[in-house]
Amino acid sequence: MRNSLADQARQYDMVARAINYIRNNPHQQPSLKDIAANIGLSEFHLQKIFSEWAGISPKRFLQFVTKEYARQALRHSADLLATSHAAGLSSPGRLHDLMVTCEAMTPGEIKALGAGLEIRFGAAPTPFGDALIAWTTRGICHLGFVDDATLDSAVVTLKQNWPAASFIYDQQRALQISREIFVLTPSTPPLHLLLRGTNFQLKVWEALIAIAPGEVLSYSKLGQKAGMPKACRSIGTAIAKNNIALLIPCHRVIRDNGEISSYRWGADRKTALIAWEAAQIEQKRTGQQNNT
């Protein structure tokens, strides 16, 4: 039986510590024994947690968090992008079953600061720690990872961003939304997002959504994808303004040299997201091959 989201979130705390150790010791190429000793676990326990959390072996998962993997993924994604453009397509085919649709708020709605809008919110576990999720009848308007110490301040910031809206705490629906995002089944419904941003930001966010899981792009390639090849700095600013983590996958954008750049929810979490998605794709492909 697959672990619950709460179990995966607890496991992520240990995985995050392992990733942090790897990121801080890249030249030593630490072994499983080294990593386990650093975070106070046995090799057996670390192997078990990694395999349960990521679905693949620790050794393979750790390959996904290296700079060399990031460089290879950049080259692969660039090839896919070039191929799709040559074929007259806007983006390569999606590699997963989670369908996301978006609706943008009108300038008048943005100016109204949420007046007449009812926003429900709650915190829920995810495989990457707890997340604050907020939504309206039109879709999810906020998803941000939080730690225990930042949850209250995250709620305060959420309300400040929509000062004229009414807020209702709805923990049960937040838990359900988290399951819909992370536990895909044939009956998983499409997820709707309600976006609030400038036309430029919306174009960048739409380009982000078109990046398939397991792929990464550089800022410059994302600019080409969004039709704004010379706006790298502005694109970086638009990415930083994204308030819907994962579903608008700004974690899939890294530097041209393969470095995992800054992430508002933590560079180690960004590294884990990229590696976890690559692991899910590999697990899916392995399962398909075994069934043929």
Which residue is listed with tokens 């990457």?
A: 128
pLDDT of 7 reads 84
Fold designation for 71-254: Arc Repressor Mutant, subunit A (1.10.10)
pLDDT of 243 reads 95
Least confident range from 50-64, 83-97, 164-178: namely 83-97
pLDDT of 78 reads 57
Torsion of CA 121, 263, 280, 126, to 10 degrees: -30
Q: Mean pLDDT of all residues in the chain?
A: 83
Q: What is the pLDDT of residues 230-274, one digit of tens each?
A: 888 899 999 999 999 999 999 999 888 878 878 999 988 998 898
Return d(Cα 69, Cα 87) in angstroms, integer.
27
Return d(Cα 256, Cα 220) in angstroms, integer.
8
Task: Find the mean pLDDT for residues 4-21.
Answer: 84
pLDDT of 197 reads 93
- Catalytic site includes residue 141: no
DSSP string, 95-159: -SS--EEEEEPPHHHHHTTTTT-EEEEEEEEEBTEEEEEEEETTEEEEEEE--TTTHHHHHHHHH
Q: Which residues of 260-274 are buried (b: 16+ CB within 10 A; e: fewer)?
A: beebbbbbbbbbbbb
Least confident range from 31-35, 82-86, 157-161: namely 82-86
| Domain positions in the chain | 5-64+265-290, 71-254
Which residue in 102, 141, 232, 250 is the catalytic one?
250
